[in-house]
Structure 1
């Protein structure tokens, strides 16, 4: 909370547009997200939700409008500055797990931390894997783990740097219903424990309903 008693906004996007080639993808979207809040970006394929995530994470530059993320104006930063801004501020969990097959679970979590200059990367990776129930799987490779276990490694990797914001893009898309629910139980539990802001990109109304708030997109606009 701020001194005024109002929640602190960790994301504040105003009149954001995105045009790719001659195609308008985002059409004047405004969105504010409070620190610690969980928000679902709900919409069908082609609604603009993944494009909005790309803009909010600095992976895509907005064509117009303003994007403030954790106090930084992403619309004024160059590519190198955006890459530095993402590091430590934003964690991302994707539908595809994107684990390196030649690395163990612990290495998949620790190596990004080491590259970011974290001095206790190895021990922190172990702690985060234990927190997602994988203390017994740290030395296993992705091919030796189930899809649910791999997604838990991906969650540990996203949260290990303690970013204030985590984006989860269709995080249960490659999992069966029961496994997906368990993974989301875990993700929400870790979000609550760490006070992380969580943005879930989904087309699943049931998953969206688990978040504090749902923002529905259609045709590149908030509906």
Structure 2
């Protein structure tokens, strides 16, 4: 594939955190992800998986190297511009659901679309919640939902704007095995429907095997 087919391109990406005694988290990552591709990131705790996802999704700024996502040079954008760049283009599903406690399920899904200026945000939120089996929970608040239901809301929120890229960081880490399996089926089903690229962090080899490609991180480097 040519570079034009890549939705994510990272070259010699480095991340160093800390002050007097800095710690090198990422140590020269080179990575390409093609449009529509699913990629699993495996690695032990502390290997740099979540940090790499944060850099690729624009939540963290690389210390050095080049990160281009959806045709944009993330290194050239300030924090506000990165936030704008993510809207509608990048969906993120985190292990901690990060739902707004004072908003209903419908509002949690609709608000990011409203911020991105998308039309019919409430109607689209209802449709996406129905797609994840929560049409009977539209007006429930996060505290009234089970862990699995909250994660389904988080998936609906990430995918409702039809982003070209979806990042998922241990999306079933807080769920029991049966619920986690259903959530993974749902994530792949909804991602396939939208044709998005998927980058998923996991410790689960069976989940990684469902992806087109598996990459392993060790000590801040791709093995």
For the aligned pair, the TM-score class normalised by the smaller chain equals over 0.9
Match of 1:18 in 2: 15
Equivalent positions of 1:17-166 (< 5 A) are 17-21=14-18, 22-166=22-166
Q: Tell me the distance in 2 between the aligned counterparts of 1:163 and 1:54.
A: 17
TM-score by length of 1: 0.95
**Segment drifting more, 213-222 vs 199-208:** 199-208
**Segment drifting more, 36-45 vs 205-214:** 205-214
| Superposition deviation, residue 195 in structure 1 | 0.1
Q: Tell me the distance in 2 between the aligned counterparts of 1:20 and 1:209.
A: 32
| Superposition deviation, residue 126 in structure 1 | 0.5
Label 1:7 to 1:207 Cα distance change in 2 as closer, same or farther (>3 A): farther
Q: Tell me the distance in 1 between the aligned counterparts of 2:25 and 2:141.
A: 38
Q: Tell me the distance in 2 between the aligned counterparts of 1:87 and 1:107.
A: 16
| Superposition deviation, residue 173 in structure 1 | 0.3
Q: Deviations over 1:84-142 (max 9, x none)?
A: 11111111101111112222111111122112212210100011111111112112222
Contact 2:27-2:220 at 8 Å conserved across structures: yes
Contact 1:7-1:35 at 8 Å conserved across structures: no
Q: Tell me the distance in 1 between the aligned counterparts of 2:184 and 2:222.
A: 25
Q: What number of residue pairs does the alignment pair up? A: 220
Match of 2:6 in 1: 9
Unaligned runs of 5+ in 1: none
Secondary structure in 2 matching 1:58: coil
| Superposition deviation, residue 7 in structure 1 | 7.7
Unaligned runs of 5+ in 2: none
TM-score by length of 2: 0.95
| Superposition deviation, residue 143 in structure 1 | 2.0
Secondary structure in 2 matching 1:186: helix
